[in-house]
Amino acid sequence: MLILKDIRKNLDFFKKKIKSRYVNNSDSLLDSLISNDESLRKNLELQQNLQNKRNSISKALGAHKDKGSDDFKKLSTEVTEVKNEINKIETSISNLKKKIDETLYTLPNIPLEDVPVAEDEKGNVELKKVGQIKKFDFKPLSHDEIGERLDLIDFETATELSGSRFSILKKDLAKLERALVNFMLDIHTEENGYDEYNVPILVNTKAMYGTGQLPKFRDDQFQTNNDLWLIPTGEVPLTNMVANKITKYEKLPLRYVAATPCFRLEAGSAGKDTKGMMRQHQFSKVELVSIVQPEFREKELEKLLKSAERILELLKLPYRVMLLSTGDMGFSAEKTYDIEVWIPSQEKYREISSCSSCSTFQSNRMKARYKTVDNKNELLATLNGSGLAIGRTIIAILENYQNKDGSIEIPLVLQKYMSKKSIS
């Protein structure tokens, strides 16, 4: 959530920046926000003056000796009038607050200066390509073809159990998933300095507001019948751990890693990636979250990207890094790098990780603050990145490591986790 005080001070800047994120009617949205804010503050002042009056009359009434005197009765009538006025003002105050919150909750984060301005993914900028794309002397199969041929993926039975967009991994592929989770967690904890956590994958509504999934993206989420939500990413529980807390600056930075299942309704993705396990309702992901002082956030984003890249490097999978444009970035992000891995059957790079700085956007929503050296309370900066999406890593390994005879070579770094060198 943007900081209202900042918008008030710098309206034109915010208008320009919100417009650059292709929000409809952004100018009039911000204008009405500011006018609501002005009348709210006028009403607050009025309310406070009346409350002050009420308090002092009440005090006088309390000190009064003769509760039957004319003076006492006069004051009583007066304070009743004041009370009625306060009630009226309180109604308009709560209406204004509601309107202001509604607007603030739907405005996206302000992009950093170096983020390219464009309406969609066409404006994303390729920053680098890493790794050699393997030339096959046969036509490489897609991961779902490989999976079915080796009898390691069962889409049909999964559909019988749960419907479309689910899959069952069997035998060596089930083990590969477990191997990847362990491998990634080991690298991030031992090499990259993140602390491993095991977190709930059901969270309450407050937490979903905190990281920005609600109220805007309700239709993308799975909800239980007791007001809990299945997390769409480990970012939600990990980041919300600092909600409503004042962290001491000595404890910063906080760096968390967790492997969790993720659940996405994929509403609005009808017809997209319907074959295979590219886009599922449920998938595993190893998530990295950093909580830092705002001045260190850009540096921390680079560390996050590097940590995620390290996994692909070790797996020897070809990838490229994209800087997302203002229109393609997620709602809470001020700057996002996507890592895309090479998918031979599609002859395309596809997203396997997304690393974002959310500046104080999430911390403002969840009141996550820290105590500065000079004892002031300031909002923290939050960052998150996938390190990596497990399902898509499996796809990338199956396709990039396939041999002509149909077998799959296991990447060197995974062999000790799999206790074998190939799958056939």
Partner RNA sequence: GGAGGGAUGGGAGAGUGGUUUAAUCCAGCGGUCUUGAAAACCGCCGUACCGCAAGGUACCGUGAGUUCGAAUCUCACUCCCUCUGCCA
Q: Give the footprint of RNA on this chain (CB under 7 A).
A: 5, 41, 44-45, 47-49, 51-52, 54-55, 57-59, 61-63, 76, 79-80, 83, 246, 369, 377
Distance in Å from the first CA to the final CA of the chain: 50
Q: How far is the CB of 66 from RNA (least distance, A)?
A: 13
Q: What share of the chain is helix, strand, coil (3-state, %, to 5)?
A: 45, 20, 35
Q: Which is nearer to RNA, 48 or 424 (CB)?
A: 48
Q: How far is the CB of 34 from RNA (least distance, A)?
A: 12
Q: How far is the CB of 201 from RNA (least distance, A)?
A: 15
Q: Are 260 and 184 in contact (CB under 8 A)?
A: no
Q: Which is nearer to RNA, 377 or 403 (CB)?
A: 377
| Amino acid occupying residue 385 | G
Helices (H), 191-338: 205-211, 235-240, 297-315
Q: How far is the CB of 76 from RNA (least distance, A)?
A: 5
Q: How far is the CB of 58 from RNA (least distance, A)?
A: 4
Distance in angstroms (rounded) separating the CA atoms of residues 102 and 106: 7
Q: How far is the CB of 38 from RNA (least distance, A)?
A: 9
Q: Are 58 and 76 in contact (CB under 8 A)?
A: no
Q: Which is nearer to RNA, 175 or 369 (CB)?
A: 369
Q: Which is nearer to RNA, 125 or 246 (CB)?
A: 246
Distance in angstroms (rounded) separating the CA atoms of residues 207 and 210: 5
Q: How far is the CB of 245 from RNA (least distance, A)?
A: 9
Q: Which is nearer to RNA, 233 or 363 (CB)?
A: 363
Q: How far is the CB of 102 from RNA (least distance, A)?
A: 17
Q: Which is nearer to RNA, 190 or 250 (CB)?
A: 250
Q: How far is the CB of 252 from RNA (least distance, A)?
A: 17
**Burial call 214-241: b when 16+ CB within 10 Å, e when fewer:** beebeeebeeeeeebbbbbbbbbbbbbb
Q: Which is nearer to RNA, 73 or 171 (CB)?
A: 73
Q: Which is nearer to RNA, 5 or 139 (CB)?
A: 5
Q: Which two tokens stand for residue 157?
A: 């039975």
Q: Which is nearer to RNA, 370 or 401 (CB)?
A: 370
Q: Which is nearer to RNA, 227 or 295 (CB)?
A: 227
Which of 262, 206, 260 lies closest to 232 in space, CA to CA? 262
Beta strands 254-263 and 195-196, pairing class: parallel
**Residue 323: φ, ψ to 5°:** -100, 120
Which of 93, 380, 158, 87 lies closest to 255 in space, CA to CA? 380
Q: How far is the CB of 281 from RNA (least distance, A)?
A: 24
CA 195 → CA 181, 283, 397, distances in Å? 15, 22, 27
* Beta bridge partner(s), residue 286: 259
Q: Which two tokens stand for residue 189?
A: 């904890």
Q: Are 109 and 331 in contact (CB under 8 A)?
A: yes
Q: Which is nearer to RNA, 12 or 374 (CB)?
A: 374
Distance in angstroms (rounded) separating the CA atoms of residues 213 and 220: 9
Q: How far is the CB of 373 from RNA (least distance, A)?
A: 11
CA 139 → CA 134, 278, 403, distances in Å? 12, 20, 10
Q: Are 423 and 408 in contact (CB under 8 A)?
A: yes
